A and B are shown apart, each in its own frame.
Chain A
Amino acid sequence: MVDEDAIMKALAGVPGPDGKTALPQSGAIGGLTQRDGKVYLSIAVEPARAAQLEPMRLAAEKALQATPGVVSALVTLTAERAPAAPVQPGAKHAHPPRPRTPESVAGVRNIIAIASGKGGVGKSTTAANLAVAMAKEGWRVGLLDADVFGPSAPRLFGLKDKPIVEKSFVVPLEAFGVKVISIGLLIEEEAPVVWRGPMVMSAITQLLREVAWGELDCLVVDMPPGTGDVQLTMAQSAPLAGAIIVSTPQDLALIDARRGVAMFDKVKIPVLGIIENMSYFICPHCGGRSDIFAHGGARHEAEKRGVPFLGEVPLDMAIRETSDDGRPIVAAEPDGAHAQSYRAIARSVMARLDGTPQRAAPKIVIG
C-alpha cells in the first residue's frame, strides 16, 4: 500500500482544472484506488475541456510515478458532471431533459458498431484488428465486446485480469493501445450466459454507461451476430456514428449481411461500409489461391446497395493463430501483409468518420 498522504502530497504540485488550485484542493479528484503498487486516479472534468486538460492529466501521472512505492500510475479524465442543461426561466413542471449521451461515453468522439448478419464470419477478429490498427494510426481507441453470449475479446487480446471498479465505474483493461471491456472479463471463461432479453439489455447498457471510457477518438463495438435485442439496445442507447458489416463472400452470409444493412437503415445509423473477410485462401504449401467462399461477393453486394466497400482480408492461418494467442495480427506482425490490409481499412474508416460529420442531434428543450 502506498500511503495516501504521500500520494496527495505528490499531487499537491499539480495545478487542478482551473490552472491554479492544487489538485487535492480542487475538488476534482473523483477516485483513487490502488492495487499492488499500481495507482489509478480519476479526475472529474467538464467533457468540453478534456482535450485542453490533457497536460494536467500527464503532469498528475508523472507526479504519481515519481512517488516512492508507486510501480505504475494511470490517470484518467472522467466526465462526472455533464454540463448543466439550459433551464428555461419559468419552467415549472418540466423535469430536466435527460442527456442524449450517457456520461460515460461523453468523451467518445465516434462510436461505431462492427456487425454481421451471421455468426462465424470473423467479426470479432476483424473488430479487434481494426481497433488495434486505429490505435497504431494514432487514435485513442476503445473496444466494447457486446457479444454477451459469446464474448471473445478477452481471448483475442490475451486478457485475464478482472477489471477494477472505481467510483462505481468499471475501468477498462488495456492491451495493444486499446481499452477493452467485455462481459467475458467479468465472468468466468467457461461460465455460460443464460439470459433472457431484459437481462441482455441491461448488461449492454451497463457495459456502455458504467465503464470509465474517458477520452476516445473511437469506440469500436463488437456486436453479436444477427439483428436482435443487443443490436437494438445499442442503436437506442448510444448515438452510433456508423456501422461496419463484416461478411464472407458466400451468398448465404451475404443474405444476412443485407439484413444487417436494412436494420441499421431503420434506426438511421449510416453504414460506413462492408468488409469481405475470408476473401480467399493462399495455400501455405503450394502457394495456390483458392476462393473457398467465392471471392468478391461482398464487393458486389456493397456496390448493389450503394454502400462503400472497405476492403478484403484473406483466410489465413496466421490470422487465426495470432487471434487464438491473444495477439491480434496487427499487433503481432504490424508490417505484414495482413496487418497492412487491416490498417488500410482502418484508415479508410477513420477518414470516413472524420469526413462525414454526424447529423447533429436535435436540441431538446423543455420549458
Chain B
Amino acid sequence: MDRGADEPWPTEIRVSDEGRLLTVTFDTGETFALASSYLRKMTPSVEAKRLSDAERESLVSGGRARITEVEAVGNYAIRPTFDDGHSTGIFSWVYLAELGRKAKRP
C-alpha cells in the first residue's frame, strides 16, 4: 500500500531567531513559519489537553517560550524543548501542517 503519499512529509525543520521561529518545509513545497510561542500555546501534550484558551494564552504571557532543542520522534514527529522547561508535546507532521495552515489563514 502506498500509505500516506498524500500526507505532508517535511524535508526541513529549521529553528531560527534564537529559538523564536520554527520553519517547516514540506515536500509539497509548502513552507510554514511558526512562532515558538504559538507552538508552545498549541502544544499537543496531554497535560495541556484540558486547558482553556485563556489558560493556554497565559502559558506564553511572559514571552518565555523559545525553543532550545528539537528531537526527532521515530518517523513521524518532533519533540521540541521550550525554555520554560516544557518538552512533552509531540508534534506530528500532520499536526505541524495543520497548525501552519491555520496560522496562515487571516
Contacts and interface: CB of A to CB of B under 8 A. Distances in A.
Contact of A362 (B1, B10, B18, B71): B10
Interface stretch (A48-56, A265-273, A327-335): A265-273
Interface string A288-328: 00000000000000000111000000000000000000000
B1 A307 contact: yes
A365 B71 contact: no
Interface in B37-86: 66-76, 78
A240 B72 contact: no
Contacts of A68: none
Contact of A238 (B10, B19, B69, B74): B74
Interface residues of B, number: 29
Nearest to A88: B16
Nearest to A366: B15
Contacts of A269: 74-76
Contact of A94 (B3, B11, B68, B76): B68
A20 interface: no
Contact of A367 (B14, B66, B74, B76): B14
A306 to B, nearest CB: 4
Given A94-B19, A305-B1, A307-B1, A268 B14 contact: no
Nearest to B18: A93
B12 interface: yes
B47 to A, nearest CB: 16
Contacts of A366: 14-15, 19, 67, 69-70
A359 B74 contact: no
Contacts of A267: 74-76
Contact of A98 (B25, B67, B71, B93): B71
B68 A239 contact: no
A97 B69 CA distance: 6
Nearest to B7: A268
B58 to A, nearest CB: 24
A339 to B, nearest CB: 29
B46 to A, nearest CB: 13
B71 A240 contact: no
A95 interface: yes
Nearest to B93: A268
Contacts of B16: 367
Interface in A210-261: 235-240
A306 B71 CA distance: 32
Interface string A52-78: 000000000000000000000000000
Given A94-B19, A238-B74, 9 more contacts: A93-B66, A94-B18, A98-B71, A237-B74, A267-B74, A268-B4, A271-B1, A362-B12, A364-B13
25 contacts: A94-B69, A95-B69, A97-B71, A98-B69, A100-B72, A235-B74, A235-B75, A238-B74, A239-B75, A240-B74, A265-B3, A268-B74, A268-B76, A269-B75, A269-B76, A305-B1, A361-B72, A361-B75, A362-B11, A362-B24, A363-B11, A364-B12, A364-B70, A366-B14, A367-B14
By Cβ-Cβ distance, the 9 closest A-B pairs, closest first, are: A268-B76, A306-B1, A362-B10, A100-B72, A365-B14, A268-B75, A366-B15, A236-B74, A363-B12
